[in-house]
Amino acid sequence: MRLSETFTYSNTDVESVYALVSDAAFREEAAAKGGGTEIEISVEPNGDGHTVVIVRSQTAEMPDAIKKFVGNTVKVKQTETWGGPDGNGGRSADIKFTVIGQPAEMLGTATLTEADDPVFTLEGDVKVNVPFFGKKIEPEIVRAIVAGVRNDVDLGNERL
């Protein structure tokens, strides 16, 4: 299932947003605010960018019929590989969300672009390789990813 969402940061610039995105303490606070537990954060320099890895347990916001297969919580690994600034000051990252122990993932890209206010765009494909249930679970995962990013952006706007 295709995921495409755009969010806006107010009264700031791309580098300030990127400073938050690549700050382990901020990412841990955002994960906890979003309901994550057992949170592990890693932020490592990678050329002119950073590799951010977030592993957390999360309540499974799924219909009951699906929860019996995945349980009440899921463990999620989020990997972002950010590059350096482009010629316009924007940044982009390869993104991967994986539900650990389940055949579910999202592969995509995130971009931070300079406009009147910085714009964060997330695009990707969510795949759940489970016969019969996969297509029913994919929209739930998309909703969870979008809610998580919205949480991060809202907290980022509070901080900036």
Q: Which two tokens stand for residue 142?
A: 């998309």
Is domain 2-153 classified as CATH 3.40.190.10?
no
**Range list of β-strands (E), 49-89:** 49-59, 73-82
Cα R_g (the chain), whole angstroms: 16
CA angle 147, 123, 1 (to 5 degrees): 80
Indicate if the alpha-carbon torsion angle 122, 139, 127, 26 is positive or negative: positive
Give tens-digit pLDDT for 30-67. Answer: 999 988 999 999 999 999 999 999 999 987 666 565 55
Number of C-beta neighbours around residue 112 at 10 A: 23
With contact defined as beta carbons under 8 Å apart, do 53 and 28 qualify?
no
Q: What pTM value is reported for the model?
A: 0.89
Give tens-digit pLDDT for 59-88. Answer: 766 656 555 566 677 889 999 999 999 988
The distance from CA 23 to its chain's CA centroid, rounded to whole angstroms, is 14
Confidence of residue 125 (pLDDT cuts 50, 70, 90): very high
Burial of 13 (0-12, 13-18, 19+ CB in 10 A): middle
